[in-house]
A = this chain, B = another copy of it.
């Protein structure tokens, strides 16, 4: 259900076709926020099937016609219901940050690796996160000054998130270094 409501949200402002929905999201949040085609078009079909949006075909000289979608009254109601409802669906498991985070899952087993190997992985990740952070900071600056403050806050969330990850990774680097430094490492039964 996640992506559907964002689509409805974009259609709250004006009717649009699939491709322009993508563009709107890119422009009003961040160029990083991309929407998968294989997700977008089936989602539009589902929304139409439920009667929340309506299609109108706009003929184009060039072959692929535009499908302009507009919100129906039930669609608008449904969107507002979702927006107002307190029961947010996220974090069914409070540790959702763990289960969809490959790197964090690896971290839990780093003791099976040599400290040097941990260090190089952490440094690589650090670079990745830093690059991502820089992109987000740039896209926040690029947002027009008068832009919806809530949309700025969404990008700001991303920035805070990446900063948090950066600081955590630095700590992790220290952690791996200390372990190498001289602490006995204790354990570690069996290895083949």
Contacts and interface: CB of A to CB of B under 8 A. Distances in A.
Interface of A: 2-3, 5-6, 9, 12-14, 16, 28-30, 32-34, 73, 76, 79-80, 82-84, 86, 88-91, 93-113, 117, 120-121, 124-125, 128, 132, 135-136, 146-151, 153-154, 156-158, 160-161, 163-164, 167-168, 171-172, 175, 178-179, 186-192
Given A86-B121, A157-B168, A187 B109 contact: no
Nearest to A167: B160
B124 A106 contact: no
A interface SS class: helix
A150 B76 CA distance: 47
Contact of A109 (B33, B93, B94, B150): B150
Contact of A117 (B84, B113, B153, B187): B84
Contacts of A96: 100
9 contacts: A13-B191, A29-B95, A83-B109, A83-B113, A90-B103, A108-B154, A111-B150, A148-B187, A156-B168
Contact of A102 (B14, B89, B94): B89
Contact of A105 (B6, B94, B128, B168): B6
A109 B12 contact: yes
Contacts of A153: 107, 168, 171-172, 175
Contacts of A103: 88, 90
A3 B99 contact: yes
